[in-house]
Amino acid sequence: MYMAKSTERTSFTKDVQGRYLCNDLTEVNAWKNSGGRPFDVLVIGGGTFGAAIAEHIWFRQKKTGGGLRTLVIEAGLFTIPEHVQNTGIQGLTDPFTPFNLNENASQPEPPRNEVWGIPWKSSIPFKGLAYTIGGRSVYWGGWSPQLLDEEVTTWPAQTVADLKTRYFGESTRQIGVDETNDFIFGEL
């Protein structure tokens, strides 16, 4: 039987949350090889949408009495547990200057500002994606304004109607931004 890895330490921390919230593929495969039940659903990406989809699947199957095993696969590490105000002070902002994937560097390239990397080859410079649990959303606190009418004039009318009557409301509840957060202050 495969033994789980121990909790890792740095000079200043013991990564208890990362150890018990995350597993690597060695641990997943060991579970499977020791007779563990296979996963029913694989969600690729643990950013805003991947996490919301995984939670949605979990709540739906719980209501129906199902027991779906869901695995979220994320390319990045667990860095911070939730949005933290003023992460820029710690150097965790997105890179100031857009950049390109350096194909001559060993891959994957070391991240910029701890987590930011380029996911594809392109001639167009890009600031990157946050390779971390929660993705870019841990850096913007769930702030995503609802689309304006002027921004959806070319969209199908039924899609716009569905967004306004159902999906915008559902998404704000799912990511927890349907209530005013008066405790936020200062620069974000």
Q: Are residues 127 and 108 in the same domain?
A: yes
Answer yes or no: do 40 and 118 share one domain: yes
DSSP 3-state helix, strand, coil percentages of the chain (rounded to 5)?
A: 30, 10, 55
Domain that holds residue 58: 16-146
What's CA 30's distance to the chain center, in Å? 25
pLDDT tens, position by position, 20-39: 888 888 888 888 888 888 88
Judged by DSSP in three states, 9 sits in: strand
Residue 12: partners with Cβ closer than 8 Å, 6 or more residues away: none
| Structural domain total, the chain | 2
Q: How many CA atoms lie within 13 A of 87 on its CB side?
A: 19
Q: Is residue 2 part of a domain?
A: no
How many other CB atoms are found less than 10 A from the CB of residue 84?
Answer: 13
Considering the domain architecture, whether residues 71 and 126 belong to the same structural domain is answered as: yes
* Residue appearing with tokens 């990045």: 76
Same domain assignment for residues 28 and 104: yes
pTM: 0.68
* pLDDT (tens digit per residue) in 55-107: 888 888 888 887 788 889 998 888 887 776 666 667 777 788 888 888 888 87
Q: Are 113 and 139 in a shared domain?
A: yes
